Amino acid sequence: MTETPRIPLTLAQVEATARAAHSGQTDKAGRPYTEHLQAVAEGVRVRGGDEEQIAAAWLHDAVEDDALSPRWLREAALSSRTKDIVLAVTKRAGEPPEAYAARILATPGALLVKESDLAHNADPARLAVLDEATRTRLTEKYAQMRALLGLVG
């Protein structure tokens, strides 16, 4: 008996899933977390990303934030490339930044998603509402990751 192929989730379904999974979460500035997901997905789109990368952008923090389980991701009707990108950009506890960056660079399509994520995280308007110590810490963290990924400017 062969398994019937599942119809892949559409981008609208992926967006709805991500919005539901992160419902009620807020970012460091107290804004709805889904605003960040939307900005990262849009950033991937305007940077020339394809549908698999845009889907991964919507889901890029889902496993890391325990909004969706690794099992959900494994079993989801998504391309293996989308799943690989999500796993590549998912930080692991205790993982050195160098190892994290190496995994992103080794995964086709992941760099564009992380670049968009970093661009939104480092947006001066988002950082401006944080206290100075947090703003400084995050600015340095994002700059280090951009350097490790070879993203200049």
Average pLDDT, the chain: 94
Which band of pLDDT confidence, cut at 50, 70 and 90, is reported for residue 32?
A: very high
138 token code pair: 């995050």
- Across-strand partners of 26? 32
Determine the Cα–Cα distance for residues 92 and 108; give it in Å rounded to an integer: 19
Phi-psi region of 150 (alpha: psi -120 to 50; beta: other; left: phi over 0): left
In the 8-state DSSP scheme, what is residue 149?
T
- The residue type at 34: T
Q: What is the pLDDT of residues 41-83, one digit of tens each?
A: 999 999 999 999 999 999 999 999 999 999 999 999 999 999 9
Query: Using CB atoms within 10 A of its CB, is residue 119 exposed (0-12), middle (13-18) or buried (19+)?
Result: middle
- How large a percentage of the chain has pLDDT more than 90? 89
Q: What is the predicted pLDDT for the residue at 145?
A: 97
Determine the Cα–Cα distance for residues 53 and 59; give it in Å rounded to an integer: 10
